[in-house]
């Protein structure tokens, strides 16, 4: 018997196992008596200052809204913070690491990322992994409708029309390895921004080395030696949807799929070759 099992058993043997009746539980109503969001806004407006809600104000409001006032409150004591379960990769479409950092620190931009990686491989963390950064925007993957709530955002300094230098990709691979292990992120959950927002976004560009990432265990790739034609009843729309893509704007989704897996052609239709690639991916992973 392992030593860590022993104390627990002893506790179980000697615990008084009478079941707590709900009317014996002390209901603490302090939290629900906190002023609500409307009160907080009124309080802010009462000052002569223009109404600017800081990040702290927003979080305070969310914490209040997170408590359901229609039910009783008995505070649990065992909890921590939710872990990220996806990584979303972006290119910045800006001109330097410094410019990107400045953008994420300006009040009006309302965008951020957890990490920014320079062309020279310098990695700058801008937000704690456990916090919700504003990098994915309106986004969807499978049934996940708010990617920001479940993902880490990594921005690569790149204007969208240039290759990603070796030093930058190497730094990215090291970071991904750390994050994958630390948060036990499934390999299928390493995605690009355009995967989760195909109608709005086109990053990272065709220059991004997805195959190389997949070879290292981040994301999926097809088996080039086994590209057979799909059967007649194969629905490519269903396959894209089952992979995770939002197919509500199908043409844009096809472009996102091709930008990642086909690269040489990003037209809005799937050729026979493209369908073989999709069929291979579908059979391989989904
Ligand atoms: Zn992006």
Q: Which whole-number Å values give the CA distances from 267 to 28, 254, 281, in the listed order?
A: 60, 8, 19
How many angstroms separate the alpha carbon of residue 163 from the centre of ligand 1? 16
Angle at 130 between CA 201 and CA 155, to 5 degrees: 30
User: Residue 8's pLDDT is what?
Assistant: 44
Residue 32 confidence (pLDDT) above 70: no
- Strand ranges across the sheet with 151-156: 123-125, 115-117, 151-156, 86-91, 190-192
- Judge whether 155 counts as a catalytic residue: yes
Alpha helices in 137-235 (DSSP H): 147-150, 166-183, 193-196, 210-215
Share of the chain above pLDDT 70, in %: 86
Identify the helix (H) or strand (E) that includes residue 154: strand 151-156
Q: Which whole-number Å values give the CA distances from 60 to 34, 54, 66, 130, 138, in the listed order?
A: 11, 10, 10, 17, 23
User: Residue 7's pLDDT is what?
Assistant: 43
How many angstroms separate the alpha carbon of residue 14 from the centre of ligand 1? 57
Contact 189, 86 (CB under 8 A): yes
How many angstroms separate the alpha carbon of residue 193 from the centre of ligand 1? 5
Residue 72 confidence (pLDDT) above 70: yes
Residue 259 confidence (pLDDT) above 60: yes
84-125: per-residue pLDDT in tens? 999 999 999 999 999 999 999 998 999 999 999 999 999 999
In angstroms, the CA 136 to CA 194 distance is: 9
How many angstroms separate the alpha carbon of residue 152 from the centre of ligand 1? 12
Instruction: Please give the domain boundaries of the chain with CATH numbers for all domains.
Output: 20-79 (no CATH), 86-215 (3.40.80.10), 224-285 (no CATH)
Report residue 113 as tokens.
Answer: 């990322």
Contact 154, 88 (CB under 8 A): yes
Q: 3-state DSSP helix/strand/coil percent for the chain, to nearest 5?
A: 45, 10, 50
How many angstroms separate the alpha carbon of residue 161 from the centre of ligand 1? 14
> What is the mean predicted confidence (pLDDT) over 182-204?
98
ipTM for the assembly: 0.99
How many residues make up the chain in this entry? 286
β-strands 123-125, 115-117: how paired? antiparallel
Residue 267 confidence (pLDDT) above 90: yes
Residue 13 confidence (pLDDT) above 90: no
Query: Residue 9: helix, strand or coil by DSSP?
Result: helix
* Active-site annotation holder among 155, 224, 267, 268: 155
Tokens 């490519």, located at residue: 236
Closest Cα to residue 274, out of 242, 236, 244? 236
DSSP state of 160: S
User: Residue 5's pLDDT is what?
Assistant: 40
How many angstroms separate the alpha carbon of residue 109 from the centre of ligand 1? 14
> What is the mean predicted confidence (pLDDT) over 169-183?
98
**Residue-averaged pLDDT of the chain:** 89
50-60: per-residue pLDDT in tens? 677 889 999 99
Residue 19 confidence (pLDDT) above 80: no
Contact 219, 285 (CB under 8 A): no
User: Residue 181's pLDDT is what?
Assistant: 98
Contact 157, 97 (CB under 8 A): yes
Contact 73, 28 (CB under 8 A): yes
Sign of CA dihedral 153, 108, 95, 261: positive
Q: Which whole-number Å values give the CA distances from 85 to 72, 82, 88, 179, 185, in the listed order?
A: 31, 9, 10, 10, 5
Closest Cα to residue 36, out of 15, 64, 17? 64
């Amino acid at each position: 018997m392992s030593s860590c099992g022993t104390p627990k058993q002893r506790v179980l043997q000697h615990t008084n196992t009478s079941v707590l009746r709900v009317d014996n539980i002390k209901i603490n109503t302090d939290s629900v008596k906190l002023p609500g969001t409307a009160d907080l806004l009124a309080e802010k407006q009462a000052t002569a200052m223009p109404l600017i809600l800081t990040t702290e104000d927003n979080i305070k409001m969310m914490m209040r809204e997170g408590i359901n006032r229609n039910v009783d409150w008995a505070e649990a004591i065992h909890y921590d913070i939710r872990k990220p379960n996806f990584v979303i990769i972006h290119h910045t479409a800006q001109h330097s690491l410094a410019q990107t950092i400045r953008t994420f620190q300006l009040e009006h931009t309302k965008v951020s990322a957890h990490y920014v990686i320079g062309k020279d491989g310098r990695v700058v963390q801008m937000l704690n992994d456990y916090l919700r950064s504003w990098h994915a925007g309106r986004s969807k993957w499978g049934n996940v409708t708010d990617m920001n709530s479940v993902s880490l955002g990594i921005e690569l300094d790149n204007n969208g029309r240039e290759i990603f230098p070796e030093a930058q990709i190497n730094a990215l691979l090291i970071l991904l390895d750390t994050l994958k292990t630390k948060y036990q992120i499934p390999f299928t959950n390493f995605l690009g921004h355009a995967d989760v927002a195909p109608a709005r976004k086109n990053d990272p560009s065709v220059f991004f080395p997805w195959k190389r990432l997949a070879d290292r265990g981040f994301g999926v790739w097809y088996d080039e030696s086994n590209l057979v034609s799909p059967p007649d009843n194969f629905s490519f729309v269903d396959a894209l949807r089952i992979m995770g893509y939002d197919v509500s704007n199908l043409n844009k989704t096809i472009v996102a799929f091709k930008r990642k897996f086909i690269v040489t052609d990003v037209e809005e239709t799937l050729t026979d070759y493209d369908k073989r690639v999709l069929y291979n991916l579908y059979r391989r992973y989904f």
